[in-house]
Structure 1
Amino acid sequence: MNTNTLAQNEALDTKIQAGKFLTSLLESDITRDRMTLKKNDKIELTSTNNTPYIFVIVSGVAGIFSSTNVAIDFAGEGDLLDYNVYSSQLFGKALTDEVTVWRFAQSDVFNKIAESSEIQLQHYHMLQTIQRRLEKKQIQATLDMKNRIAAFIHTLATRYNPKADDQGMIELPRYFSRKMIANYAGISLSTLTTHLQQLMEEDRVIFNKRVLLISEENEA
């Protein structure tokens, strides 16, 4: 078995184990609160009453933003919305029409992790999933601007809409607006548009005001 195959199998195992984390928490007896966010609703990810929480998304997609409104990452079904791995000054914002979230007291979750080696393993893989996403973004950020933008868009498109069409193009979900992509890439909207036009001339993307598709061959 070659190195690439081993890496792919390890990534798949991590994804499966991480996906079991929410199920294990819900099947336990710990207290939880179900929260529903409408599009653009915000949720503070820092504790205001000295009770740290862990948030897990059940459905929908949310962005994770810094206190200066910079998009750091995104979270979808089964993802942790925050786990104190990014920063202490963050908030989440619903990108889809509705986002459903379970809120757990951090201390309760830590107790369950201590009690169960299986949940401990799932928790480890969940943190590994987050870390790999952040590391991938850091690697992509070393590319030149045009290819960086293509890599960011490809990553988001395949993560939230993995099925390509007959032409080998993947549509980026529309809640990832061009303004959102520019924010995530740390560039102005005009700079993003300039590079999208260049990528379109190279037949790597197709875009208009409401649709952005990227070639599945753009993986970086």
Structure 2
Amino acid sequence: MSTNTLDTKIQAGKFLTLLLDSAISRERLALKKNDKIELTSGNKTPYIFVIVSGVTGIFSKTNVVIDFAGEGDLLDYNIYSSQLFGKALTDEVTIWRFEQAEVLNAIAQNKDIQVQHYHMLQTMQHRLEKKQMQATLDTKEMIAAFIHTLASRYNPNADDQGMIELPRYFTRKMIANYAGVSLSTLTTHLHQLAEEDRVLFNTRVLLISEIR
């Protein structure tokens, strides 16, 4: 596991512990695969979420994949103007849900919560900025960069051949959606990357070289 990933989990653990030790209203949610959860609700009680275990996809209302979130990630998507929802990708996802107004009040009153919340927002912002930077590459390199980022983030252990397996809940259809390309375009570029010995794939497994 990379140092950055470890640091992020430590920060997330501190932030979650501080919230759970406070008097903020909260609810523990248990999702099954494909269950959905509203992230930017227009109701009178908006929330923020912290993922304890599992992985979710973050989708726009038009079903475009915006991001992914896993263990320790904060889901606080006020930086977007569109309505978003999360969908469980793994068999089980556990999430703590907190009332946003109470969290903001706690942030204003507690320096430790403020600092940890800032770190969590920075992590999310950096992730989105990295995606924007990778999106400027040509299509083949963009696809390779997206796959490598996701594989490294959710399965940081390479095999003895220096290949990282992308977890299977990241289907090819989902990767194409995330990259903003058609499934046939994705497949074409995967074949090209395979010819360059940068990926190995079949219908269920996709591995990408650890060295970039």
Query: Which of 178, 194, 204 is the equivalent residue of 2:198?
Result: 204
Q: Counterpart in 1 of 2:171?
A: 177
The 1:10/1:182 distance shift into structure 2, 3 A limit, reads closer
Shift of 1:88: 3.8
Moved more, 160-169 or 20-29: 20-29
Q: Percent identity among equivalent residues?
A: 79
The 1:50/1:97 distance shift into structure 2, 3 A limit, reads same
Alignment of 1:98-109 (within 5 A): 98-109=92-103
1:33 maps onto 2:22 in alignment: no
2:211 aligned counterpart, secondary structure = helix
TM-score norm. by structure 1 comes to 0.90
Q: Counterpart in 1 of 2:161?
A: 167
1:118 maps onto 2:112 in alignment: yes
Work out the CA distance in 2 between the residues paired with 1:24 and 1:165.
37
Alignment of 1:1-220 (within 5 A): 16-218=10-212
Shift of 1:12: 7.2
1:18–1:129: 8 Å Cα contact kept in structure 2? no
Work out the CA distance in 2 between the residues paired with 1:10 and 1:117.
23
1:61–1:94: 8 Å Cα contact kept in structure 2? yes
Per-residue displacement from partner, 1:167-193 (whole Å, max 9, x unpaired)? 000000000000000000000000000
- The one-letter code matched in structure 1 to 2:168 is R
Shift of 1:14: 6.0
- The one-letter code matched in structure 1 to 2:191 is Q
Per-residue displacement from partner, 1:121-154 (whole Å, max 9, x unpaired)? 1011101000000000011011111010000000
Structure 2: where are the runs of 5+ without partners? Answer: none
- The one-letter code matched in structure 1 to 2:58 is I
- The one-letter code matched in structure 2 to 1:112 is A
CA RMSD of aligned residues (A): 1.8
Moved more, 108-117 or 41-50: 41-50
Shift of 1:48: 4.5
Work out the CA distance in 2 between the residues paired with 1:80 and 1:168.
31
Work out the CA distance in 1 between the residues paired with 2:156 and 2:94.
22
Moved more, 135-144 or 79-88: 79-88
Shift of 1:21: 1.2
The 1:11/1:57 distance shift into structure 2, 3 A limit, reads closer
- The one-letter code matched in structure 2 to 1:132 is H
Work out the CA distance in 2 between the residues paired with 1:199 and 1:214.
9
Work out the CA distance in 2 between the residues paired with 1:205 and 1:90.
32
Moved more, 10-19 or 95-104: 10-19
1:93 aligned counterpart, secondary structure = strand
Q: Counterpart in 2 of 1:5?
A: none
TM-score norm. by structure 2 comes to 0.94
